[in-house]
Amino acid sequence: MGIIEIKNLSKTLGDFTLKIEKLDIEQGFITGFIGPNGSGKTTTINLIMNMISKDEGCIKVLGKDYVRDDLDIKEKIGYIGDVSGYLQDAKLKDIKKSIYTFYKNWDEDLYKSYINQFELNEEKIYKELSKGQQKKFELAMSLSHHPKLIIMDEPTANLDPLVRNEFLEILQDRIEKDNATIFYSTHITSDLDKVGDYLVFIYKGKIILSGDKDNILQNHVIVKGKKELLNYETKEIFISIHENSFGFEGLCVNRYEAYEIFGEEVVYDKPNLEDILTYYTRG
Ligand SMILES: Nc1ncnc2c1ncn2[C@@H]1O[C@H](COP(=O)(O)OP(=O)(O)OP(=O)(O)O)[C@@H](O)[C@H]1O
């Protein structure tokens, strides 16, 4: 059973349509949700969180119906959205006071340890924190009830590299200690180079690639060679190709298939996630 299961989901917003035929998020792993601006990451997360209604399809979260069992599910989720719903003029300690009672498993010691680790002052007013400090507070709030599922929309966007690493370590820690499942969207693919287990690429409202991160990285290959090697048939194996007057560079899904066709006549490079995303989205 997937911790998040989506089937035939669709949602139209203005001229944008999200269509996800199937998505299963595995328990106990970090799944990175990546895609360029406007590809549908926030829309998908808002649907999973029952914050907007779907047009069609089925969403199950923690094995339950995401609408009928909404409250029960939310109690077990740690969520950070693209905008926080906290009262902007409230002190951190008051925000915490108004929220923690909703969670049976609230762990005050864990909360305090995050507050100390992030050097946050609970006497401060939320809107007076820097964007990175606000994110840290959201993180402390969303993880201190030992959630089984952690869903986050661009959580690392305003964090400096040092804090980002700290954040990634915290996620890893929650997986080890609580067997939590993490699903988070990001633009920063280097974060996922470090910690992601599974990847879901979304582009123009559709999932174009998903699976085990290491398999995706190992199977794909960048091929560089002379233009004469390209013809109708050899072009078929590429996701996309970039040509210039000297030669070509293209991404193939299957490194063995590429080798069978081009042998020693080309150069093979290992792509990183950024490369893979770029090739898939440039058409
Ligand atoms: N309420 C709305 N009305 C009309 N269009 C909308 C609405 N909300 C989102 N959209 C459109 O849906 C598309 C997907 O937006 P979404 O926020 O899901 O993308 P995203 O992948 O999260 O982007 P980003 O990385 O920039 O945050 C965009 O084209 C956006 O303009």
> Would you say residue 106 has pLDDT above 70?
yes
Q: Does the beta carbon of 256 lie inside 6 Å of ligand 1? A: no
> Would you say residue 189 has pLDDT above 80?
yes
> ipTM score of the complex?
0.97
Facing residues of 181 across strands? Answer: 149
* Cα 175 from Cα 162, distance rounded (Å): 21
Q: How remote is the C-alpha of 226 from its chain's centroid?
A: 37
Q: Does the beta carbon of 39 lie inside 6 Å of ligand 1? A: yes
The mean predicted confidence, pLDDT, of the chain is 92
> Would you say residue 283 has pLDDT above 70?
no
Burial of 32 per CB tally in 10 Å (0-12, 13-18, 19+): buried
pLDDT tens, residue by residue, 129-143 = 998 889 899 999 999
pLDDT tens, residue by residue, 4-33 = 999 999 999 999 999 999 999 988 899 999
**Spacing, Cα 57 to ligand 1 middle (Å):** 19
pLDDT tens, residue by residue, 36-64 = 889 999 999 999 999 999 999 999 999 99
- Report which of 222, 228, 208, 282 is spatially closest to residue 253, judged by C-alpha positions: 222
In this structure, which residue's CA is closest to atom 30 in ligand 1? Answer: 38
Single pTM value for the model: 0.91
165-191 mean pLDDT: 87
> Would you say residue 121 has pLDDT above 80?
yes
174-188 mean pLDDT: 89
How many CA atoms does the CB half-sphere of 210 hold within 13 Å? Answer: 18
Contact (Cβ atoms closer than 8 angstroms) between residue 220 and residue 34: no
Query: Which domains are assigned to the chain?
Result: 4-212 (3.40.50.300), 220-281 (3.30.70)
Q: Does the beta carbon of 53 lie inside 6 Å of ligand 1? A: no
pLDDT tens, residue by residue, 224-255 = 999 989 888 889 999 999 998 889 999 999 99
What pLDDT score was predicted for residue 72? 87
What pLDDT score was predicted for residue 196? 85
What pLDDT score was predicted for residue 264? 93
Q: Does the beta carbon of 136 lie inside 6 Å of ligand 1? A: no
